[in-house]
């Protein structure tokens, strides 16, 4: 759900940003490999349900994980990686245990 200045249900502008834990779990995922021009690149995009707001789901890459070991339900730690000119990109890392 992209951030917006209005409630998507009632269209009210009385909305608040609420801090949530940087934890979640994999709701769904896929493994992409053999991207044109980068046959060696393997990406694991996932739909992530947030721990404090499981009804909200965000799409981000699972990084530093063996794609063969990624599973629905895996616990995640969510981080923001700086990519360029101050832009930050959300990524998820599997939590051991």
Q: Is the pLDDT of residue 33 over 70?
A: yes
The pLDDT of residue 1: 54
Fold of 23-94: OB fold (Dihydrolipoamide Acetyltransferase, E2P) (2.40.50)
Q: What is the pTM of this model?
A: 0.81
Question: How high is the pLDDT of residue 2?
Answer: 63
At residue 7, the pLDDT reads 83
Q: Is 39 exposed, middle or buried (0-12, 13-18, 19+ CB in 10 A)?
A: exposed
SS3 16: coil
Give yes or no for residue 55 having a pLDDT over 90: no
Percent over 90 (pLDDT), the chain: 63
DSSP 28-85: EE--EEEETTEEEEEE-EEEEEESS-TT-EEEEEE-SS-GGG--TT-EEEEEEEEEET
Q: Where are the domains of the chain?
A: 23-94
């Amino acid at each position: 759900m992209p951030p917006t200045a209005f409630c998507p249900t009632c269209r009210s502008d009385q909305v608040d940003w609420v801090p949530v834990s940087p934890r979640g779990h994999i709701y769904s995922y896929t493994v992409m490999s053999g991207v044109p021009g980068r046959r060696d690149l393997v990406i694991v995009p996932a739909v992530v349900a947030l721990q404090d707001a499981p009804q909200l789901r965000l799409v981000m890459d699972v990084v530093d994980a063996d794609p063969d070991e990624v599973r629905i339900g895996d616990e995640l730690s969510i981080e923001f990686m700086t990519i360029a000119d101050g832009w930050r990109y959300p990524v998820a890392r599997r939590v051991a245990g």
